[in-house]
Chains A and B, each alone.
Chain A
Amino acid sequence: MSLLDSAVTGAPLERREGLLRGYLPVVLAVLVLGLVPPLAGGSRYLVSVATLLVVLVTYGVAFNVVFGGTGQLLLCIGALAAVAAYTSALLSGELGWPLAITLPLGVALATTGGAALSWLAVRRRLDTIFVGVVTLTASLVVHNLLLGRRELTGGETGLVVQAGSGTALRDPVLGYYAVLALLAVGLAGHRAIQRSALGWAFRAIRDDAEAAALAGIDVARTKVLAAAVASALAGAAGSLYAHVEGFVSPTTFAFATVDVRVIVAVAFGGLGTLLGPVVGGVVVTLLDEVLRPLGQLRLAVYGAVLLVLFLAVPRGAVPAVGWSWHRATARWRGRGTSPAGGR
């Protein structure tokens, strides 16, 4: 039916658009974001803000797959990104290994880490909050290790990433398109999952894990798989960003810098929705930028705005818009139907 509708989690499973319509939201979102550098008129600042935005959105897609998809509150997106980024930066910097080896290696390490945490949580049947706290502590452990292993990581002063300097990644605009390409892969991957049997399994697990198992779904495998996919995406985004920026520090990947913003963006955009992270990420970044002149009061106003947003659209902006759109079009067609099971 409508484009927005198909991007909403509550959209019926049974309806599956053709390839073109199915991926149209992804293409449109990437095209719009692709317009930023030409419109920025050569402003390095705007491009760097946009780069950070795209990376945040990519983290958001990862979080959305694992939490919105299977209900695992993985609060270590930033830490996984850090693992991948530091692995690649250090192996390339200290040992001189080529990026073509260290990037995948870092991503593989992050994937293993995320999958292992998920496997542990599944094995021990941990509840949402427990998964959240275990992964949060894992985040803090990584953070403290980065701070503590000063001789390797440079501690809180950070690390200049030598590898990749002089390559196309260091050109601000090309670097932007590199992270955007990764986001495109992430969004298309999420769409592909939604359209596949795995997407059905996600929906069933989110609704009721026990019923899903009785229906024949391998819940444990699906959850670990979701965590692995998310960790890989977060790791790739983190290490790509490190090489584009040429600098990493523990703050780049800290819980408060990454995970908090990711949660806010995804929750605001709409958990489990395809475009939720994009909408939420843009809003969060815009808020940040608009409030910047307020100085220290920024945080308070930011919090107040979020408070209002969360209380006004607790389901998230994308589903809210999708619903209104659906209702409007339904009235227009003279049918009073509501999307079955929209939430």
Chain B
Amino acid sequence: MALLTLRGLTKRFGGLPAVDGIDLDVDTGEIVALIGPNGAGKTTLLSLVAGIVPPTACTTFRFGDRDLVGAAVHEVRHAGIGTVRQAPTRFPSMSVREEVAVGARFGRAETLDHRTALHRADEVLDLVGLREQAAAPVTSLTLHGTRLLGLARALAGRPDLLLLDEPMAGLTPGELEHAIALIRALRDEHGLTVLWVEHVMPAVDLLAERVVVMDVGRVLAEGDPAEVRRDPAVIAAYLGVPDAGPAGWAGAPGAAPSEEGGPRAGGA
């Protein structure tokens, strides 16, 4: 039974469709990678699911037994969807432990009390490996540290589904290994479902059980990584974009362009 069901999800920015009638199902316990050339609409899709961007149209957005069409950001969060953006925004006046505790306290509809939230934060910091930095100001973290912080804040709210936006971009090989192991552990040991936008193809090969390829706001292909890689339509889409072709598929970690953007994603 599908955990997340999307039908007819559409977002236009000034007439240009960034996401164009997407249908998508994610089953409980799956790790699904969302890939595609720059400007394919992957980040917009995540923002739509997270409720950050209101959709132009959406016929179905079901999560578990909840109907989330038109839900606000915090309602999506309370339903059990945790979002980590590519450049996670932080609470600059807080320590790492406090920021994660905020995620714990407000992550579900019933607010946790002071002590439980901090306790929960410590557990999650152990899990992601940030325990050492618990007392440090959030502004002191590295890029990887900031991503882990964003992940910890999302996890602290006890999500069922994690939305991750390019968690691997720009990481060193060591950090990449850590990130891959961490996401796998989250699924295997904590039963989380992961929907994840990625450009770093080796990570997709290692981790994804299903790959959804997007191009110009539509689903181009989907299947297991090896299957999708052979799809001529996918090769064509990537070849149309310099530096992101199949060569980048096997390229060094972090070599692929990491920015989602372009005029279609617009607004910035």
Contact = CB atoms under 8 A, between A and B. Distances in A.
Interface of A: 9-10, 12-14, 16, 197, 200-201, 203-204, 206-208, 210-220, 340-341, 343
B97 A14 contact: yes
A341 B139 CA distance: 9
Interface of B: 50, 52, 72-74, 77-78, 83, 85, 88-95, 97-98, 101-103, 105-108, 111, 113-114, 118, 135-138, 153-154, 157
Contact of B111 (A10, A197, A343): A197
A39 B50 CA distance: 60
B103 A215 contact: yes
B73 A213 contact: yes
Contact of A215 (B52, B85, B106, B138): B106
Q: Chain B at the A interface: mostly helix, strand, loop or mixed? A: mixed
Nearest to A207: B91
24 contacts: A10-B93, A14-B97, A200-B106, A203-B91, A203-B93, A203-B94, A203-B102, A206-B93, A210-B89, A212-B91, A213-B77, A214-B50, A214-B52, A214-B73, A214-B85, A215-B77, A215-B153, A216-B103, A216-B107, A219-B73, A341-B94, A341-B95, A341-B98, A341-B138
B103 A341 contact: no
Nearest to A211: B89
Nearest to B134: A14
Most buried by B among A203, A211, A214: A214
Contacts of A217: 74, 102, 106
Nearest to A199: B114
Contacts of A213: 52, 72-74, 77
A14 B102 contact: no
A340 B137 contact: yes
A14 B52 contact: no
B12 to A, nearest CB: 19
Nearest to B114: A16
Contacts of B94: 13, 203, 207, 340-341
B77 A214 contact: yes
B93 A201 contact: no
Given A213-B72, A216-B107, A340 B95 contact: yes
